[in-house]
Each structure stands twice: as C-alpha cells, then as structure tokens.
C-alpha cells in the first residue's frame, strides 16, 4: 500500500521560545562564535536546549560598509577550528562554512545505513532514520562501525549537532547561527550567536515505508546535485567540501561493504531543466544516493525522478515545508530544518529588536514564499504590523518597483528572503534610503554569508 507523509497540525514548535515572541520573553541566547574551539560533535541534550543570556541589544550602527548590521539566520552549530581545517584541506579556497557540516553528516549517515543494511540497494533507506536515533551514541565513522560490527545500533550525532530524523525524514532538532555583517561587508564572527530549536513530540511520526526493489551492486556510489553555478553557487563549495571530506574519511576507515565509496559530482544549476539533465546523468551512472539539491524548488523538480528510480535523495539545505508531506516513497531525507522553524527564528530576531512595522520581500519559489508566509504569520501573531509583502521574480533585471513600494510604507525593519540576487535588492534598498544603515535589515540562509558581500562589492 502506498503511504504518504502526514504532518500533524501544529506539530513543529521552536525551542528557546522562538515562537513565543508574543509572550514578551526577554531572554535571548549568546554563544561562542563560529571560531570556537569545538573539536568533538556536540553532546545530545533532552528536549529543546535552554538559553542563558540575551543576544547583544540593537544599537545605532556606526557607518561602515553598506551591509554593516545586516543580520540573518542559517542552520549552524559552532564549528571548531579542527573541523574547519579538515574542510580546508579538501578545499583550501573555502570562504564560508554554511552547510558544510550538514553535507558531511548526511554522507556519514548514508554510508552507515548501507553498512547496517549490508547492501547499497534500496533496502538501506529503511536504516537511515535509525542511524540517527535510539541507539548507542557515536560521533565518527569508525566508532559507529564498531557498534554495527558488534551487532548494535549506532546513534550518530555529528558536526551539525544532535541529529534525530523523524519518520518523514525531517530533523527533530536544529541550531541556527545568527550571523551579522561587519564594516567590511563580510560576516563579523565576533557577533555570531546561536538559537537552538526543536520540534514538538507530535512531529515524531512513524517511518514512512520504503517502496521499491532496486538491487545494489556491492559498491556504494554517491552522486551530488549541488550548486556549482547559479544563484546559490556560494553555498556549493562548503556543501561539496563536507561531502568530499566525509567520503575521504570513510574510505580511510575501510569504506563500506568492504569497498571504497565512490563519488560522482553533479551541478544543480538554477533551473529544473539543468538539474534534470544532471540527475539523468547521475542515475545513468547507477548512483545509490543523490546529495542535494540545495534549493527546495530544484529538489521538488527532480524528486519524482530520483525516488522513482529507487534512489535516496538527501539534502543538506532544503527547508520548504512542502517536502514534509511530499509522497516520496520513503526515500527523501534532509538535515536542514523546515521553514516553520527558521521563519519563527527570523521573526523572533525582528521582534526582539523592537520592530513595529515590517516589510518582507521574497523570491517567487517554494523557498521564498513558504518562508515569507511563516515570518509574516509569526510576526502578526505577535501583534507586529507587516505592512508590505513583495514577491519578486528571481531573474528580474531590477527591483526598483518592489523596493519603492516598501520604502513608501516607511518600515522600521525589512526581511529579505532570497539567494544571490539579494545583493541587487540590498543595493536598491540602500539607494532608496531603507538599507541596513537606515532600517533594521534581516536575511536568511539563502543569502547571509560572505558571498553576499562579495557580490555586493562587485556590483558597486
């Protein structure tokens, strides 16, 4: 019988009172910066982590780069220097680490699931959820394999934090880094802090049955569908480095099923047509899993083809809520939390900074419209006015009309939900007197990063 995913109403709740912006909670979190000395995977805690201190209060910004003070959220835990150094060894040119841990961890989970199942065929998909929960804790491939070899059940926690997947392949826990641009239009690590989040127990639904009978050939082969080109290309290098590092370390530890794991690289690009061509090539090379895409819209355009072939699709960065209920034959998984959590995190930042009149501008795709809807609803539920919501076409040449309408509403905060084109939007906002030096300005995982600053500076 075909089973489809069912999301319980109100199932996802955000820890740390992220959704409780209406309750006047005055406690915020302050954590170590992204350069903190953390070499081991974080310890698992029961329930949503507690916060201790408040994030720095908003103050009048000193004039610097145009983007100074631009603040955004991205799924992120404190990444230790030792892990960053290992990533730099596989790609010395990395300038960001966004989603590197997620790419690393999901590759480890795929390999461990195949080892536990004893096959690279479709049957290993049934082991993926179990690798992340309800077993004996382990934080690296060798120690997890030792548990498997002894007949036990590993519970892998990695660099992306405590990983617990529910029955529809969504994470039950998350950590958001709050990143802030400094005077040089680059991320100021000294201002980074973290907001943990968790789903409610209602979200912990039973596993969806895996459908299909694809056999393996004894060699675990992983393909990537990650952005080498296009508007999310800035996310590609860290995601790819995470996958590369994981495969390197898995093979150094003996591989899977007695053989080295093989990698077939592919570019997701920006369009469904391009991504489908890449998927056709990867499936033609008999991959057992496809890592990606980074963009939810791209994943939705290829998911039927991938899962229809009996192949696992595992994304490091998809956040669209549509993927929670998608009928994926039990073969789609992600490490990044759904937009319901990130939307509430962004809304909490805006509310805690004292905004009363907010404008939202978001790209017209599954990611942009879904996240904008959650941000708007959470703010309005907290009694904060959302005066303008502008949905734009990502390939538009200019954004003058959208920004002019926002400026006319005289907002005291603007939320920008987009990808690389956000640099053009922000430049237009600066020209219209509603840039980060004029009003509080917030971003999201699709645009917050050093790549945004580089694009902005290049356009100046």
Non-local CB neighbours of 374 within 8 Å, separated by 6+ positions: 321, 339, 340, 342, 343, 344, 347
Q: What is the 3-state secondary structure (H, E, C) of 264-276?
A: ECCECCCCHHHHH
**What mean pLDDT is predicted for residues 290-311?**
97
Q: What CATH number belongs to 15-55+64-339? A: 3.40.50.2300
Residue 22 vs residues 26, 59, 432, 441: alpha-carbon distances, Å: 11, 22, 31, 20
Question: For 312-341, what is each residue's pLDDT tens digit?
Answer: 999 999 988 899 999 999 999 999 988 888
Average pLDDT, the chain: 87
> What pLDDT was estimated at residue 133?
96
Q: What does the pLDDT read at residue 134?
A: 94
DSSP-derived 3-state class of residue 69: coil
Evaluate whether 15-55+64-339 and 340-459 have a shared fold: yes
Tokens of 227: 């952005």
Res. 96 pLDDT band, cuts 50 70 90: confident
Q: Domain extents for the chain?
A: 15-55+64-339, 340-459
The values of phi and psi at residue 103, to 5°, are -60, -40
Q: In angstroms, how far is CA 213 from the centroid of its own chain?
A: 30
Q: Residue range 135-147: average pLDDT?
A: 97
Residue 392 in this model has a pLDDT that exceeds 50: yes
Alpha helices in 150-295 (DSSP H): 236-252, 272-284
Q: Residue 214: which residues within 8 A CB-CB, separation 6 or more?
A: 121, 122, 309, 310, 311
Q: What is the C-alpha separation between 40 and 64, in angstroms, rounded? A: 36
So what's the pLDDT on residue 330? 98
Section 17-35 average pLDDT: 35
**pLDDT band at residue 243 under the 50/70/90 scheme:** very high
Report yes or no on whether pTM surpasses 0.85: no
Report yes or no: 154 and 117 within 8 Å, Cβ to Cβ.
Answer: no
Q: Return d(Cα 229, Cα 162) in angstroms, integer.
A: 31
Mean of pLDDT values over 278-292: 98
Say how many Å lie between the first and final Cα of the chain, rounded. 57
**pLDDT-derived band of residue 49, with 50, 70 and 90 as boundaries?**
very low
DSSP state of 413: E
| Range in 68-82, 196-210, 318-332, 428-442 the model is least confident about | 196-210
- Residue of 145, 104, 136, 158 whose CA lies nearest to 253: 145
Would you state the pLDDT for residue 428?
98
**Which alpha helices (H) appear in 21-156, and where do they start and end?**
81-90, 100-117, 125-131, 141-149
Q: d(Cα 69, Cα 448) in Å, to the nearest integer?
A: 12
What's the whole-number mean pLDDT along residues 165-180? Answer: 93
Give the position of tokens 């990063």: 449
Pairing of strands 71-75, 440-443: parallel
Secondary structure (3-state) at 175 = strand
Q: What average pLDDT does the segment 412-440 reach?
A: 97
Q: Both tokens of residue 217? A: 């050939």
Which candidate, 366, 363, 275, 292, places its Cα nearest to that of 322? 366
pLDDT on residue 371: 95
- Give the DSSP letter of residue 453: H
Q: Is the peptide bond before 114 cis (omega within 30 degrees of 0)?
A: no
Residue reference for tokens 């049955």 = 209
Q: DSSP label at 405?
A: H
What confidence score (pLDDT) does residue 7 get?
34
**Dihedral pair phi/psi, residue 459, rounded to 5°:** -85, -10
* Beta partners for residue 262, in sequence order: 221
Confidence category of residue 23, pLDDT binned at 50, 70, 90: very low
pLDDT reading at 310 higher than 60? yes
pLDDT of residue 64: 66
CATH of 340-459, one of 3.40.50.2300, 3.50.50.60, 3.50.50.100, 3.40.50.300: 3.40.50.2300
Kindly provide the b/e burial profile for residues 395-431, where b requires at least 16 CB atoms within 10 angstroms of the residue's own CB.
eeeebeebbeebbeeebbbbbbbbbbbbbbbbbbbbe
Residue matched to tokens 């905004």: 355
Q: What is the mean pLDDT of residues 218-223?
A: 98
> Is the four-CA dihedral 76, 364, 435, 27 of positive or negative sign?
negative
- Over 70: is that where the pLDDT of 32 sits? no
């Amino acid at each position: 019988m075909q089973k489809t995913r069912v999301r319980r109403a109100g199932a996802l709740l955000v820890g740390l009172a992220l959704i409780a912006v209406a309750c006047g909670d005055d406690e915020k979190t302050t954590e170590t910066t992204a350069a903190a000395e953390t070499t081991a995977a974080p310890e698992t805690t029961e329930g949503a982590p507690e916060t201790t201190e408040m994030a720095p209060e908003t103050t009048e910004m000193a004039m610097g780069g145009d983007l100074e003070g631009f603040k955004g959220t991205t799924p992120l835990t404190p990444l230790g220097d030792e892990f960053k150094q290992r990533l730099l060894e596989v790609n010395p040119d990395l300038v960001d680490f966004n989603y590197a841990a997620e790419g690393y961890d999901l590759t480890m989970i795929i390999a461990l699931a195949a080892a536990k199942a004893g096959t690279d065929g479709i049957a290993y998909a049934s082991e993926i959820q179990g690798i992340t929960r309800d077993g004996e804790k382990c934080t690296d491939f060798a120690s997890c394999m030792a548990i498997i070899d002894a007949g036990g059940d590993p519970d892998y926690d990695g660099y992306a934090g405590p990983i617990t997947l529910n029955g529809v392949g969504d994470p039950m826990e998350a950590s958001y880094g709050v990143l802030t641009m400094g005077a040089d239009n680059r991320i100021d690590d000294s201002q980074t802090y973290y907001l943990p989040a968790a789903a409610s127990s209602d979200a912990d639904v039973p596993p969806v049955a895996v459908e299909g009978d694809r056999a393996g050939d004894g060699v675990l082969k992983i393909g990537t569908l990650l952005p080498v080109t296009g508007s999310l290309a800035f996310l590609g290098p860290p995601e790819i480095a995470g996958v590369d590092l994981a495969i390197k370390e898995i093979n150094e530890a003996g591989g899977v099923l007695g053989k080295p794991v093989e990698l077939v690289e592919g570019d997701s690009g920006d369009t469904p047509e391009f991504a489908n061509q890449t998927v056709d090539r990867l499936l033609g090379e008999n991959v057992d899993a496809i890592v990606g895409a980074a963009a939810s819209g791209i994943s939705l355009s290829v998911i039927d083809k991938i899962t229809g072939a009996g192949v696992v699709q595992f994304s490091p960065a998809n956040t669209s809520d549509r993927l929670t209920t998608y009928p994926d034959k039990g073969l789609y998984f992600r490490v990044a939390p759904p937009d319901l959590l990130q939307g509430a995190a962004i809304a909490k930042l805006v509310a805690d900074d004292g905004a009363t009149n907010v404008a939202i501008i978001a790209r017209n795709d599954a990611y942009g419209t879904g996240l904008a809807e959650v941000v708007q609803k959470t703010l309005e539920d907290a009694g904060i006015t959302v005066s303008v919501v502008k949905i734009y076409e990502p390939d538009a040449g200019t954004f003058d009309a959208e920004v002019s309408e926002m400026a006319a509403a005289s907002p005291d905060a603007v939320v920008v939900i987009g990808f690389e084109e956000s640099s053009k939007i922000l430049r237009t906002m600066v020209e219209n007197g509603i840039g980060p030096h004029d009003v509080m300005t917030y971003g999201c995982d699709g645009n917050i990063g050093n790549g945004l600053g580089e694009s902005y500076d290049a356009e100046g």
